[in-house]
Each structure stands twice: as C-alpha cells, then as structure tokens.
A and B are shown apart, each in its own frame.
Chain A
Amino acid sequence: MFQDINHILQELSTLQVSGEEAKVLSRICKKLEKMKADLVKLEFKNTRLTKDKNIISSLLARTSFDLTKTLNDLKIRAEEQSALLAVIPALVFFKDKELNYLLVNNAFEDFFNQTNEEIRGKKILDLTDNYINDRYTICEREVISIGKPHYDIEEILKKDEEEYHFLTSIVPFRNPMDEIIGLVGVSWDVTERKKYEDELMKARDMAEAGTRVKSDFLASISHELRTPMNGIIGLCDILMQSGLSKFQQENLEDIMSNAHSLLVIISDILDFSRIESGKIKIEASDFSFRLLIHELETLIQFKTTDKGIDFRIFADDRIPQVLHGDATRLKQVLSNLLNNAYKFTDTGYIHLHINLLSEDEEQVVLYFRVEDTGIGIPHTSRHLLFQAFSQVNTKAKVRKGTGLGLAICKQIVKMMDGEIGIDGEEGKGSIFWFTVKLRKARKSLQEDIPVIPESRKGLYRERNNLLVLLVEDNKINQKITTFHLTRMGHEVDIVEDGRAALEKIENKRYDLVILDLQMPVMDGFETARKIRELEKESTRAIPIIALTANAMKGDRELCLDAGMNAYISKPFTYQDLEKSIRDVLD
C-alpha cells in the first residue's frame, strides 16, 4: 500500500494542471502524504507491537513461572513456620493495634483450652478473669505507639485455682512500609522455675542466717575472750617486774608467750568472723607509704636479727610517698605474710619486694612479694593454703596457728581489688605475692595529722608526775593501767564510767584522761564529746587517750571524731602506754 501511494504521488506529480484543478490536486497530494505518514507509523506500530509482544510474553511467562515458584516457596515456608509455631512450647501470639488476638500457636490454644478461631478478636481479660498486670498493659501500648520492644515482663495469671508465672517478651509487628500494625509476643511458663527459685531463695536465706549466727557467735565469744586475756597478759607484765626468782621468771615468760599466742588466735577468729559476716569494710584514708614500710621493717627486723635471718625490703622508687587506702589492713596482710615467713624460715633470708605494677592519674597497682628460704609449700597442698582453718602438712615440724591468717589475707586483698598467690618450691622456700589497688592521695599527708592541743605540747618534757584520770570499769584493767602509770611517776584517779569522769574533770585540773570505750552509764565516745563541750568555754584542752578492746580501723576514726587525741588497743605494754602519752603531750 505504501508503494501504491508513492506510485500514485509520482503519477500525480506528472499531471499538468492549473487554476482550481491544481489546488484540488495539491489537496489530494497532501492527503496522500498524510496517509503515507500514517502508514509509516502504522507499519512501525505493527512491527513494534510484534516485537514487544514477543518480549513481553516471554517476560510474563517467566514472571508467571517466578510467581508460581514464589507462591510454592511461600507455601512451604508458611507450613514450616506453622510447624515451628506449633511445636514451640512457649505461648506465641500476634495482636492487632487494639490488642486483640489475631493468631496464637498450639501451646497458647492448649493453655487456655480454646481454639484459634475462638481466641481471635479477644483480649486477655476475655480469656481469664484472674489477670492483673497494669505494667504489662503499659508495655503493650508502648510497643504499639512508639515501637519500643519489652523483654521478660513478669505476668501472673490464675487458672483452675492454680497460679501460673510467665515471662513475656513483646515486639512490634510492622508492614512492608515499616508501619506498626500490631505486636508479636512470646510467653514462657516459668511456674516451675519460680517455685525452684523460691526454694533456693529460702535455702540461701537460711544458709546466710546460719552463717551470720555463726559469725556473730564467733565475734562475740572472741571479744569476750580478749578481755580476760588482756588481764592475764597485763598482770603477767606487772608480775615480771616484781623481782621474781629465775624459775618463776621462766615459767611466767612461758605463760606470757602462750597468752600472746592465744590472743593472736582469738584476734584471727574475731577478724575472720567479722570479715565473713561483712562487718569489716575497707576504711580508706591518706597514709604515708614510707612510714608503713618503716613500721613493718621495725616489727620484723628485731625478730629476724635474733634468728640470724637476713631481712630486707626492696621498694620501687616510683611508688608515691602518700597513698589513699586502708593502711591498717595492708599492714595486716604484710605482717601476716612476713610473720609466716619468719615462722617457717630458720636460716637464709626473708625479702620483701614492692613494685609499681601500673599507674594512672587516679590510682596505682602495687605488687608485693615475700620471698623466704624456709621449708616451702608442696604443690599438692597449695590449693588449701588460702582456705579457712587449713594448715598445710609439710615434711618439717607442725607449726602453730589457727590456719586463718592466709584466709584473712585473701579476703582483705580481695576487698582491695587485688589477687594473692604463692610460688616457690618445697624445701627451697616460699614466694607469697599479692597485688592491691590503691588510690593516689589528693592532698599532702601533713594536712591530715591529728591536732595535739597547743597548751599541752611539751608538757611531758616538763613534768613526769602528771595528774591522770583513768576512766575504766574493768577492775583488772584498772589495776594494770594504774600500775604502769604509777611506775611512770604519774598520779592516778580512777572512775568507772563517763558521768563520774565528767564530774571529776569539772572539779579537778587533770593533765591527761585515759578513757575506756565500753563502759556502763556513759561510754567513752560520749564522754569524750562531753569533755570537749565543757572545754569550749575555757582554753583548756585535756589530751584524751582511748583504750579499745579491738584494734579495728573504724575505732580510730570514731575516737578522733569524738575529740580524742590517740588510742591504744588492749592488751598494751608499759612501752605502748608510755609512747602514747609521750605522743600526745610532747
């Protein structure tokens, strides 16, 4: 047809016409040209449509195949998911935005004894009357409104008079446009676990109560034992100075030695029971590290010299001079390890190495190592070492002690965020080591030294015959303290409680008050506070030395807070008392 039109156009172009005929011919030609153009378009459309038809048919056929395959896959997946939901022992549910159930699993159906069809469209309160959990409802609303998931919400509901406990997790359920259209939840029945947990809790409470009772009993009995022991040691001390025969002197020394050993045992039991019952806490304050090392050196040096053992301390120069921590407890651990080393070493050396393990702006980690050339510890027994009441059998002779020392050390080191351990070989000596974390001091130690009343400073150098008020209810202690004070050349007035002491002070000018802490009527702390109150109106400030039965760290702070200037713990020796008096008056 296209060619026909072309042919016609060619024919027409040969025609010789003019005027009106030419106009008509021109119109015909234009019409034919348009027909030709339309034909071109039609032909293209036809070709195009055929081509498109083929390709699009292929695309649709493949798409149809894809869809069928996808539908089959979806069906299989739906069956798998359905099977999975069916076998999950937890209660699984879908809810719409109004919190009506849409779909639940088999476990859910079984629990409420209703089918999916019966449950659909219902709310929880339609399924059970015995359900109250406002928090759960709030959680559900949060899931729906802001998409916040909630996990392990506790739910309790009653069925057939039985209480069931559930842990439920709920998360938002979204459509492909990421809009929340409901929630999905999983509830685990934890009723049996809850019962088991309750029983465990009860058992734990009972065990803890038992431990507390045991510890309280031990603490109480130890404390009570210390008081007569103090008396025995004090009186022996007095007797020692009363011109005895050599036989009497030797026997008395044995009594003293055994009494001291007994006192150490009692102190260990007291300490351990207090740690176990949680009554001991780390009491941190700024302390001079150098002074602590010096004190240790003094303590151990004279013993090792007697035995002919080389004792040395190697301390890292980088360790800050002033640290913040519980110096008393740190000293206790070190004394224990050094005393153990002393106990089990007859020849050779005992070396204490102290290294700075790490340091930052806030704190340091120190590493202490006590090395000796003693009998050593067998590898097989090391696991017992830090357990309470355990003593390791060595090839050497059996040593004395409660077996509590290292257990106490372990507890203290643990409280100081450290570790403790042992190296070395049996027969070649032991290496005990531990680490502790200590904070760096924020201020210089000088700022924290207790203030000694100015008016009394230097008094000791001036006079030896001080007028001392001894406030003590225990007759034996009265006797021992008076003996020592009198021997020092001081005059002593004795009262048995705080109230009597206050009356005395109001009427007489004393140079020193020695104050027991535990007394009837008015205890030592209150007495010290009252004395300081009385002194507010005068320039007098009588030095007060506290006498404590326990060398507990907290007591020192309590004494200083109450206005006392120093404290000494019982049992004390003549030298202890004299030094303390010198310290507060000199």
Chain B
Amino acid sequence: MKDKIDNIQRYLVTATEAVSFSITALEPLSGGAIQENWRLEADVIGGPHAGRLVAVLRTDAPSVVAESRGRAEEFALLRAAFAAGVIVPEPLWLAADPAIAGKPFFVMRHLLGVADRFRIVKDMSLAPDRPALVRDLATQMARIHAIRPPISGLEFLPEPSPSPAIFWVARYRAFLDSLDWPFPGLEWALRWLELNAPAAPVSGVALCHNDFRTGNYLVDGSGLTAVLDWEFAGWGDPMADIGWFCARCWRAGKDEMEAGGIGIREDFYAAYEAASGCRIDGGAVVYWEVMAHLRWAVIAAQQAARHIDGGQVSLELALIGHVVPELELEILRMTEPD
C-alpha cells in the first residue's frame, strides 16, 4: 500500500504540474459493487492546483460486470458529460497505466451528497423539494441525450445496430449463453423484447447514461449535486434511460412513486419534454422498463456466476443471484399474452 501511495503521488505531482503532491488521507468510500472509490486528500504545492485538494480516486473493484467499461473509457465519458454541462464530478486526471497503482484509476472532484437510494426515498430532509428534484433529474437526462455522435474522445463507443433494442437482445442472449444454467423466464423476456423491439430512433442515437437511477446520483439538503457512475454509458435510444429510471425494480420499495421512487412519472416526462424538445413515447418507455428488469436480472445472474465459478467467493454476490425470480415475476406481469 505504501508503495502504491508513493507511485500515485509521483504520478499526480506530474499530472498536476505541482512542485509537491502529498497525500494526507486515502480512505475507502462506501458504495459500488463494481468500482472502488477512495476519498483522496492532498496538499498540493505549486502549479495550477496549488492548495488543499479533496477528490475521489476511482479504480476497479475485484468483481467486474461484463457490460461495464474500463476506467479510461469512463473518464472520457465523464469529460464529455462535464463539457456538455451535465452536473458531474469534474474529471481531473487519468492514470491508464496499471503499473502505477496495480490497476488503472482516475481522480475526480469530490462532491458532497448522499447516493443511498433507500435513504433518499425515505429521508425527506434530503432534496426536500421533490418535484424540483424530479425536474432537475429530467433536465440533466435531457442534457445527456443532447450529446450526439460523433464526439472526439468517444470513438470507442459502438454503434448499436441494427437498432439499440435488438443490439441489447443479442448481447443479453450471449451473456445467458455464457452461463452454465438455463433461465427460461429470462428467455421469455428476450423473445418478447425481440418481437416488440422499437426501430432505431429516427433522430439517431444519443448518449445514454445507461444506469441513471436513484442510487446513482447525489443529493444534499438543497437538492441534486451530481450524476454519478458513467461506466455503462453509450450510444442508444433515449427512451431506454427513461425506462431504466422509472422501472419498478429501482424504486426502492416506493412503488407508487414511478419516477425513481421519488416523484410522479408525469412530472418527469413533462420536465424532460420541456428540456429536450422531444416527445416521450409512453409505449416505448414500457418496452424499456421490461428491458430494465431483464438487464438487471442478467447482471444478477452474472454476479452469482462469479461467486459460483470461484472467481470471487462472496455472500453479497451469492445473494444477488436470488433476486432473479422477483425480476422474472415482474417481467411476466408486464408481458402477459393477450
């Protein structure tokens, strides 16, 4: 650990063009089954960042979800979002070379706030004006969707063809095929998603966050402070983000609050339409809500497989496998034959 801190300091003194860069604290932050976040405090002498620095150092955790992008790509996405005026932690420096700290990492500005979705849905002292929070989230999402290809630095993002929906159906089938046991309930979902797939958006694909939900943004006593976790972002159908945000599985038990467990769906739609100038297709959102449950179920099955196959023995991963049937039930309810 001491060696690693020395290496990180050496790297950051150059990156920050400082005379000296002394780490005074490096402590793990909670949250993130996929990434590890560390609170980094440092005294910086000289250079444009001179003074006291409070930042977050983000690196890979031992378990990696197949869909998740690496740190260098996430850094590029965060930069694109920051440049487009989305409220995100300012991305500062990327160390793509794993030799420095054992794995790639990047440093971003530390923003205060709470992300825990179970706390956010219950604790009304956080973002107490909930209709305003709903509007702010819709506005941020619209700002993300205004990012359209081509964007310099995002050339690594694949074009989802023939359409975002069919692209994901094929991906998830391939994921299920890589597992050792069958999931007829999830196959039902995929067949439904295949037959009911919307065409590619007429206005072209947009940047989708792909994990925009309660739990992945920060709020404090006054409201929204940041949109986090950009590792799944990519070109896609904007309705997919809306479906993911509204899906029942992310409402943290507040089922009646269809907008992320924190607000009214119609309010979110109205604010999104006002900010984006695009009409929301309610039927398409329902489609993407089915996709949301399927996606979460596939990720859960993959997490369980990680434990079962011995890659990483973990009670948390093992228990995640047991959320699959709940998601199946919701999918089956949404896709009942006529």
A associates with B? no
Footprint of B on A, CB under 8 Å? none
